[in-house]
Amino acid sequence: MQTMFALVWNNEVRKLFCQSQRVMRVIWVAAMVGSLGALVFLVDPDDAQPHRILVDTDADTDDVFALFYLLKQDSTRFDLQAITINANGWSEAGHAINHVYDILFMMGRDDIPVGVGGEGGILPNGTILPNVGGFQPIIDQGMSTAGECRYRQAIPVAQRGRLDVNSNYGLRKAFLPQGSRRYTPLQQPTAQQVMIDAISSGPITVFLMGAHTNFAIFLMSNPHLKKNVKHVYAMGGSVRPNCPKINSSDSSGECSDIGNLYPQDSNPYAEFNIFSDPFAAYKVLHFGIPVTLIPLDATNTIPLSKSFFMEFERRQNTYEAKYSFQALKIIRDTWLSDAFHEQYCMWDSFLVGVALSIIRNSHNLYGENEFAEMQYMNITVVTSNEPYGALDGSNPLITGYSTPRFNVQKNGVHSGHVQMGMQDPFCLQKGKGKCQDGYTKEGTGEDAVRVLVATKAKPNHDNRSILGREFYKSFLHVINSPERTGRFDIRTQYPFHREFLYKPDFGKKIRGKPVVFDMDMSAGDFLALLYLLKLPVELINLKVVYDGLDLLGLTPT
């Protein structure tokens, strides 16, 4: 009996042991699957490959700082795929593209395609032909590259304007090395083709550093490629007014202008980039792609302070740092007032810094980053002024058309008065501007889009530092880093290259009739120029030689 009991007992124990082993195997397998699942969850597929980036820029000086900051990043994380030039802003096409080519050559990135312009047009019925150049705002674009300059009037031509930006105050040719790529009219890759090539190749993030003309045309022409655009980061706009705080020394109680167009204009609301093509900005905002906006609200809180300037002057360890600081110094020395350190801000470089930090922290749904405080807002872009349905001839979308262009509604938000220039009488009311073209305005209802907006630059975590903003510290660290640095400047590229300025001394000679010579760079004009230079100064006093084509960037000035 005891033997039988022992056998039964042993069999039951073996069964329990086997069952426990099976349970343990199941638990182990489940644990392994759970661990693998956790690993899959923790490894973001976006982090497993570089973030592809396309930049659309107007090649202003602050855009140069932004490009350097981006090019200095590890390309295995942030890979700049292409650059397109916004030819509707601060620089002319030829000069801008040569500037970018020289920067890329210095940084060893001649592999990056650069596109600008194009000879395409837009038909009266709104049909967009291939390779529209983006030289005009979308509403003014016709069949040629010539047309209205209604918005570009806000940008000065001479000092601190397009002529200075074209040459970066004369620094471009004096500092940057010269590669083999140069602007070639009619052979230059167009902005639209470069965008199509980059965006059709896979998921990409877009940085907009100027007017939105190029990118809006791309979206309107290639809606099927919208799915490849992961996110748009734009520097532009101004959302909330800068009103005096309670107990402020400003007792007027009035809000200052929230835009940054030059004084004596008729629009106190707009910022340059959005004002340059409000309809394009509206299209980009309403196209259904996630947008993060870095407006003046945030950039005004990160001006180029005296302490930052002094620290930058002390820390110039790379060619790109030297080039950037020299440009800043010229701008400061030629600023029209003593308020340079309060008025000149880190506009586009701050955009790139905030964008890259948000991408690094992409697991955070609220745009948490190192450099800026963020907030979701419902925003639209004002493209015309009330009353809507205006028939005063100012609006090319509806004037002369029984059916408005681009299917806009006859009495909709695009149908009002469109600002005609910087002194448009419609926009002046008792000497003050009232027009809102280009205003990134908070709103409600169907016309407002939920946008992530930077509201303020974050302070430096180190309270003892003279650099008051966290991004000041990051910018100086990145641009002075020995990694991915510029290879040489023009003097190390050509060690025997020197530039001299010879000024003749005419002494007490009585000069002849002053002459201004306007030439078009033809062979005959060069012969005429040589003839004028050979004449005695007592007979002909050649004061100025002017080339009309220079403004188009078609001459090597």
CA distance 209 to 355: 12
Alpha carbon 281 to chain centroid distance? 13
3-class SS at 330? helix
pLDDT: is 161 or 552 the higher one? 161
CA distance 382 to 119: 29
456 class by beta-carbon count within 10 Å (0-12 exposed, 13-18 middle, 19+ buried): middle
> How many other β-carbons are positioned within 10 Å of the β-carbon of residue 489?
17
Residues 121 and 144: beta-carbon distance below 8 Å:
yes
Scanning 366-494, the segments in alpha helix (DSSP H) are 470-479, 490-493
Encoding tokens for residue 204? 């990409």
Domain residue ranges in the chain: 46-241+255-383+418-493, 513-552
pLDDT category, 42, cuts 50, 70, 90?
A: very low
CA distance 226 to 148: 29
The helix (run of H) or strand (run of E) holding residue 373 is strand 372-381
CA distance 324 to 413: 42
Nearest to 271 by CA among 58, 65, 55: 58
Spatial CB neighbours of 280, under 8 Å, sequence gap ≥ 6: 137, 138, 211, 212, 213, 215, 216, 217
Strand partners, 115: 84
pLDDT tens digits along 48-72: 789 999 999 999 999 999 999 999 9
The DSSP output letter for 179 is: -
Could you give phi then psi for residue 23, rounded to 5 degrees? -60, -40
How many H helices and E strands in the chain? 17, 13
pTM to 2 decimal places = 0.81
pLDDT: is 464 or 549 the higher one? 464
Locate tokens 């009488």: which residue?
A: 425
pLDDT tens digits along 434-464: 999 999 999 988 889 999 999 999 999 998 9
pLDDT category, 310, cuts 50, 70, 90?
A: very high
Sign of the Cα torsion 151, 153, 159, 163 reads positive
Sign of the Cα torsion 406, 409, 414, 417 reads positive
CA distance 515 to 543: 6
Average pLDDT score over residue span 226-238:
97
Q: What is the 3-state secondary structure (H, E, C) of 124-168?
A: CCCCECCCECCCCCHHHCCCCCCCCCCCHHHCCCCCCCHHHHHHC
pLDDT tens digits along 471-519: 999 999 999 999 999 998 888 888 876 767 777 777 788 888 889 888 8
Spatial CB neighbours of 102, under 8 Å, sequence gap ≥ 6: 172, 176, 177, 178, 179
CA distance 522 to 528: 10
The answer to whether the peptide bond before residue 514 is cis (omega within 30 degrees of 0) is no
pLDDT at 11: 55
Spatial CB neighbours of 150, under 8 Å, sequence gap ≥ 6: 137, 140, 418, 419, 420, 421
**What rounded mean pLDDT belongs to the chain?**
85
pLDDT at 25: 55
Architecture of domain 46-241+255-383+418-493: Alpha-Beta Complex (3.90)
CA distance 237 to 259: 8
pLDDT category, 548, cuts 50, 70, 90?
A: low
CA distance 116 to 183: 9
Q: What angle do CA 423, 427, 428 make, to 5 degrees?
A: 75
